Structure 1
Amino acid sequence: MPLNGALSPADFEAGLALGWLTDDEAAKVSRYRSVSARNNGLQVRLGLRAVLSRHSELKPNEWRFNYGAKGKPALTPDLLAKTGLHFNLSHSGEWLMIGIVMGGHALKADHYADADLCFGVDIERERSSTDIVPILNHYFTQAETDTLLQLPSSLQRQRFFDLWAVKESYIKARGLGLALSLKSFSVDFGLITQGNVNVQLADKSHQTIELQQDVKLHFTEDEDIATTMAWQTVLGRLDQQYRFAITFGLTNQVNEQHSLRIEPIDNSLNIYQLSLADLLV
């Protein structure tokens, strides 16, 4: 979803007047000092509720959320049991990304528990002003840094933000924030294979965006997470400036219990590009 930081005061008030947000959410949005942050905060919350309602019979004002120790949002246990939906969201610059996993019902189960399923998304805007070298040395593994610096200088910044998006999607899937060291795992793009995924636009037309497949995560400090869960990650690009990453993990216990054959993410990935106005219709 595109974000409009220049939302007019009338549109902002109209969004609040929908009555979708809880009193706490509305108060938090209104406390932002920056007008653009206030506008985007409202659109993020309205957009999330509208998208969730596209996948459920619940109305946008009926959604309620819990927050993990590091702030990761999730549906309250009763709504998770009722809908089977898991979600994650990310925003950067002019874009909001909302990811939805419809889990459990296909297996005739109530839902995947939060402990069984990890899901994170991240969208990143490439910024020319970011000094990437100090960040490389502080947050990336030696292998990641060495591989990046072997690239032509013109590609190093692109790879930096690709790495950052994938790493963010993983730590968001875990719900631990930066309490989880970015050096505790490494990203291996290997021999990247390209694939295309279909994007349905609001006007019912279609376009394709490129996905980079075979992105691998290697766990350098937490072997348990590598042996107890099956992980998949994909990286995509909206354009030259914006890229996004999706990371999905499911416990091996659930895989074995339901005899699942885990399909590659890109085989079951549906992407829709919508504006908030589209969702309000």
Structure 2
Amino acid sequence: MLVRAVMAASPLPFYHCWRARLGPVPPAALATLSAAEQARHARFLAARPAQAYAGAHVFLRAVLGHYTHQPPAVLALGVDARRKPVLTTAPPLWFNLSYRADWALLAVSNQGEVGVDLEAIRPVAGAAALVDYLFSPAERAVLRAAGRSAWRALFYAIWTRKEAWAKCSGMGLALPFAGFSVARRRGSAIAWQVPGPGQLQGFVVDEGHAGALACAAPTAVSWQHFDFPSRLPVAALPFP
């Protein structure tokens, strides 16, 4: 299987995106979380967010365990000076996790910083104020020109790309979101763009979720998408 071959030959450059459908987490899987992760899981007051957190972090540890050839429970996870999660053991890997109630996405590379975002496509509360505050003038123009039926998909296509880019940079929400653009009008069409050196792309997770990936690579890269726990390759259609 392709993913196993790449894992076994770590000098080969790779950019992988894993997806997992979240559900109930067996006690044996919960036991792979660190003491800090288990304590955070216990602090959730609602069952569904607790389940999503546990499932996403069990998924994170299981996938990283495949790359490092270590049991998930012994992986040493920490944060860097920017508070971005890092793997403190060899081999060097860069990763980023995003999850919602039903799905989790994990970007992994041995080449440099990556970012991933996952959003459920649903009505946007306070949409006008959110767009005015967090979207650039060019992005607002894209949304103004969109028909009513296309507005929501475009909103999430822009938002997921902005989030993935911010996470790749390590700044997260500290990045001035209205100060950079991932989309602009080009005549009657939309031109997707990267706000700095690197790559950025959006894709469909399922009919109700959108995703986006960012990396710091200066030249074009080919992301490979895999399902968890099957490890089978999956197709990722562009979004929107």
SS in 2 for 1:127: coil
1:9-42 alpha-carbon deviations (Å, 9 max, x no partner)? xx543323xx322212211111111111222211
Separation of aligned partners in 2, 1:38 and 1:155? 33
Q: Is the 8 A contact 1:231 1:249 kept in 2?
A: yes
Separation of aligned partners in 1, 2:39 and 2:192? 40
Count, aligned residues: 209
Change beyond 3 A, Cα 1:232–1:129: closer
Q: Residues 1-281 of structure 1: matches in 2 within 5 Å?
A: 1-4=20-23, 7=24, 11-16=25-30, 19-68=31-80, 71-76=83-88, 79=89, 82-103=90-111, 117-188=112-183, 215-218=192-195, 226=196, 230-250=197-217, 262=219, 264-265=220-221, 268-275=222-229
Separation of aligned partners in 2, 1:158 and 1:50? 32
Aligned position for 2:12 = none
SS in 2 for 1:217: coil
Separation of aligned partners in 2, 1:270 and 1:215? 21
- Determine which structure has greater relative contact order: mean sequence separation of CA pairs < 8 Å that are 6+ residues apart, divided by chain length: 2
Measure how far apart 1:147 and its partner are: 1.6
SS in 2 for 1:238: strand
Separation of aligned partners in 2, 1:24 and 1:150? 47
Q: Is the 8 A contact 1:65 1:74 kept in 2?
A: yes
Separation of aligned partners in 1, 2:137 and 2:185? 16
Change beyond 3 A, Cα 1:67–1:158: same
Separation of aligned partners in 1, 2:115 and 2:78? 16
Runs of 4+ in 1 over 6 A off after TM superposition: none
Change beyond 3 A, Cα 1:182–1:150: same
Q: Percent identity?
A: 25
* Contiguous gaps of at least 5 residues in structure 2: 1-19, 232-240
Measure how far apart 1:179 and its partner are: 1.2
Measure how far apart 1:64 and its partner are: 1.1
SS in 2 for 1:172: helix
The amino acid across from 1:181 in the alignment is: P
Change beyond 3 A, Cα 1:190–1:68: farther
Q: Is the 8 A contact 1:185 1:217 kept in 2?
A: no
Change beyond 3 A, Cα 1:143–1:237: same
Q: Is the 8 A contact 1:132 1:160 kept in 2?
A: no
Separation of aligned partners in 2, 1:184 and 1:23? 39
Separation of aligned partners in 2, 1:189 and 1:233? 14
TM-score (norm 2): 0.79
Q: Is the 8 A contact 2:52 2:102 kept in 1?
A: no
Measure how far apart 1:68 and its partner are: 3.8
Measure how far apart 1:87 and its partner are: 0.5
SS in 2 for 1:99: strand
Q: Is the 8 A contact 1:235 1:246 kept in 2?
A: yes
SS in 2 for 1:42: helix
Separation of aligned partners in 2, 1:157 and 1:125? 11
The amino acid across from 1:247 in the alignment is: A
SS in 1 for 2:118: strand
1:60-101 alpha-carbon deviations (Å, 9 max, x no partner)? 12211122455421112xx1xx21211101012311001110
Change beyond 3 A, Cα 1:95–1:173: same
Measure how far apart 1:131 and its partner are: 3.3
Measure how far apart 1:129 and its partner are: 4.6
The amino acid across from 1:273 in the alignment is: D
Q: Is the 8 A contact 2:62 2:72 kept in 1?
A: yes
TM-score (norm 1): 0.68
Separation of aligned partners in 1, 2:141 and 2:185? 14
Separation of aligned partners in 1, 2:184 and 2:74? 41
